[in-house]
Amino acid sequence: MSRYALLARLEAKPGREAEVEEFLRHAAALARDEAGTLTWYALKLGPSTFAIVDTFDDTASRQAHLTGRIAAALMERAPDLFASSPVIEEAEVLAMKGR
């Protein structure tokens, strides 16, 4: 079971929701290239609220993700796409069900 996770909450600027969705779809391809990122989900929580949830086996992989291409792109695009800075929280996975 993956033990470590990240939860990022994103609030799109008005009128930028479609761009945020496209950004997240593109980011999925980058996540697939990260060996240490075990799962990666982009979620739409409401009309303008989004989240990213990803899991890792160890803190080194989680830290590599935080300094990787997705995080860099997220911070680069944040002023244009998001109403406020993304909130990124480290988390510990307590339980999961996988396929």
Full domain range(s) for residue 21 = 4-92
Write down the pLDDT at residue 99: 75
Write down the pLDDT at residue 31: 93
Write down the pLDDT at residue 59: 96
Write down the pLDDT at residue 80: 96
Ranges of residues in the chain whose predicted pLDDT is under 50: none
CATH number of residue 53's parent domain: 3.30.70.100
DSSP secondary structure string for all residues of the chain: ---EEEEEEEEBPTT-HHHHHHHHHHHHHHHHT-TT--EEEEEE-SSSEEEEEEEESSHHHHHHHHTSHHHHHHHHHHHHHBSS--EEEEEE-------
pTM of the model: 0.93
The total domain count for the chain is 1
Is 99 within the bounds of a domain? no
Cβ-proximal residues to 54 (8 Å cutoff; 6+ apart), any chain: 5, 6, 31, 37, 38, 39, 40, 41, 65
At 90, list the tokens: 């480290």
